[in-house]
Amino acid sequence: MPPKEKKPSEGLNDSKATEEIVFLLGGLVLLGAITDAILNYIESLNAETFFRGAVLNYFYVYIWPIWKYLAFLVSALAVVGIIHNSRKITAINIEENKIFNPRHVTSLKDRHKIREAKNSKWDRIVKYANSDNPSDWRIAIIESDVMLEELLRAIGYEGESVGDILKSVDKEEFLTIEDAWEAHKIRNAVAHSGGDFRLNEHETKRTIALFEKVFKEFQLI
């Protein structure tokens, strides 16, 4: 699997700014609710016995409306800021992935590029697998393994051989890894044992079916 490099912290400032706006908005809402509750409580206790009516009236007439207007304005600006920063963070993450994790960004594009060329190759492999000639069965399995290697390298995995590549694969990102391993081991037996390995039609089709599951996971066929 390609080595994972540590991503830069270019998006941290935007993320921090978004968090600050959210906290500010929450604080204003909370402060407004507390203030409203206190005023209601004071009114329920007959505030004139504690405060001069003129002071309370001044607060309601001049201060409270401005407070509510400012709270609304800051809330609106906070929402706009959150949306703006979310878009910037998303754009930054996409650009970071292109640089530091290109396999996830380009894999679909790479698969699309190679799909047409590989489909004709897969059709030929299926034809070999359905042949009555044992030599064709061997060709079908060997060429399927070649397809597997091309797929793995196209989506960003590295290694000297298919076996080395499969050892580095993350199982969470490669659901059919066990099928790939089993099919590759059969390929090795076919390629390295020569005529000593007894390959029959059933085993050929079972092996091709394993390769097929892998190719379908990555939308190659």
> Are residues 167 and 208 both part of a single domain?
yes
Please give the residue range of the domain that contains residue 172: 102-217
What is the spatial distance between Cα 172 and Cα 184, in angstroms, rounded to a whole number?
Answer: 20
**Residue 121: Cβ within 10 Å count:** 17
Inter-CA distances, 139 with 46, 106, 151, 211, Å: 96, 30, 18, 14
149 lies in some domain: yes
User: 67: which residues sit within 8 A by CB, 6+ positions away?
Assistant: 32, 35
210 CB-side CA count, 13 A: 21
SS3 83: helix
pTM over 0.75? The answer is no
One domain, residues 152 and 200: yes
Answer yes or no: do 201 and 112 share one domain.
Answer: yes
DSSP calls for 1-19: -PPPPPPP-TTHHHHHHHH
pLDDT score at 91: 66
Max Cα–Cα distance, the chain, nearest Å:
107
Per-residue confidence (pLDDT) for residue 141, from 0 to 100? 95
CA distance 198 to 70: 83
* DSSP type of residue 63: I
Together in a domain, 96 and 20: yes
Which token pair is 183?
């099919």
Question: Do 88 and 124 have their domain in common?
Answer: no
The tens-digit pLDDT sequence of the chain (221 residues) is 444 444 444 444 555 556 666 666 666 667 767 776 666 666 665 545 555 566 666 666 767 777 777 777 877 787 777 887 777 776 666 555 555 554 444 444 455 555 555 578 899 999 999 999 999 999 999 999 999 999 998 888 888 899 999 998 888 889 999 999 999 999 999 988 766 678 899 999 999 999 999 999 988 88
User: So what's the pLDDT on residue 107?
Assistant: 47
Domain identity same for 69 and 129: no
Give the per-residue pLDDT at 214: 93
The verdict on 114 and 211 lying in the same domain is: yes
Total domains, the chain: 2
